[in-house]
Amino acid sequence: MKKTLLTIALSAWMLNTYAQVVGEESTSQSVASLFEEKPKEEKKKPEKSLTLSFGPAWITSKIYTSRDVYTNQAGMEIMAEFDCVYSNCFGFGLSFNHNFTNYPYDSKLYQFFLGPSFVYAGYIGERWWAKVDLGIGYAMCDDTFEKQSGLGTKSGISFNYMVSPKIGVGIHMRALSSIFGKQSVSYPGSENDANGIARFGVTIGMRFNL
């Protein structure tokens, strides 16, 4: 009986000692883990891109000339845009637009726009990249008789298919409006209309991730 009790007491003492040793090791490991330097998470860099495109554009406002009044006259639009988009899909951009419209047997109209824009963009699939932008900037118009400058606004939406991580092809739809001061040359019928030009363009081109 005494031997049995002695065996039980010895076993209990050994188990207690083992538990204390294991507990001290786990405690020291947990304390050490508190002081270990965790790897820093790398912040995702903003995505920068350059887009070049061209295509038709239509002047939706009335254009008065010495010969006639034109509406929905088609011309050619050239566009260059730089965008910087952050991980939350918001960003900024810089846009340059040039438009050339020829009026048969009359004048030629050149339009320029340059200005910053607010951008919301990101991937909507594995390869599709979409963008919505709103901008304001400097606008200029030259109809070979008079050169005018004023305030311009721009809004648009784009869809690009990325054929590689660096290059994509896409379609871009843009609405641009410009407001100028008083014309030095006026034509019959234009007295009650605002001095400005509105146009809508659809261009195709390439997007390059920088």
CATH number of the domain at 101, please: 2.40.160.20
Tell me, yes or no, whether 93 and 158 share the same domain: yes
Tell me, yes or no, whether 28 and 68 share the same domain: no
Tell me, yes or no, whether 143 and 89 share the same domain: yes
Tell me, yes or no, whether 102 and 124 share the same domain: yes
Tell me, yes or no, whether 13 and 82 share the same domain: no
Tell me, yes or no, whether 3 and 83 share the same domain: no
Q: Assign 169 to helix, strand or coil.
A: strand
Q: What is the pLDDT of residue 31?
A: 43
Query: Which comes out higher in pLDDT, residue 106 or 102?
Result: 102
CB 141 within 8 A of CB 111: yes
Tell me, yes or no, whether 6 and 109 share the same domain: no
Cα 169 to Cα 97, 124, 127, 136, 162: the distances in Å are: 18, 15, 11, 25, 6
pLDDT greater than 70 at residue 185: no
* Per-residue confidence band for 129, with pLDDT thresholds at 50, 70 and 90: very high
Chain segment 21-64, per-residue pLDDT in tens: 445 555 555 544 544 555 555 667 889 999 999 999 999 887 77
Cα 161 to Cα 89, 131, 152: the distances in Å are: 17, 12, 29
pLDDT greater than 80 at residue 9: no
Tell me, yes or no, whether 56 and 30 share the same domain: no
Its pTM stands at 0.73
> Within a domain: residue 79?
yes
Tell me, yes or no, whether 31 and 56 share the same domain: no
> Within a domain: residue 120?
yes
CB 124 within 8 A of CB 99: no
Instruction: Cite the DSSP H helix spans in 45-203.
Output: none
> Within a domain: residue 140?
yes
Count of domains in the chain?
A: 2
Q: What is the pLDDT of residue 89?
A: 94
pLDDT greater than 70 at residue 96: yes
Tell me, yes or no, whether 5 and 69 share the same domain: no
Tell me, yes or no, whether 143 and 100 share the same domain: yes
Q: What is the mean pLDDT of the chain?
A: 81
> Within a domain: residue 186?
yes
Q: What is the pLDDT of residue 139?
A: 96
> Within a domain: residue 42?
no
Q: What is the pLDDT of residue 34?
A: 46
- The fraction of the chain above a pLDDT of 70, given in percent, is 70
| Full domain range(s) for residue 5 | 1-37
Tell me, yes or no, whether 100 and 142 share the same domain: yes
Quote the CA–CA distance of 134 and 132 in Å, as a whole number. 7
> Within a domain: residue 3?
yes
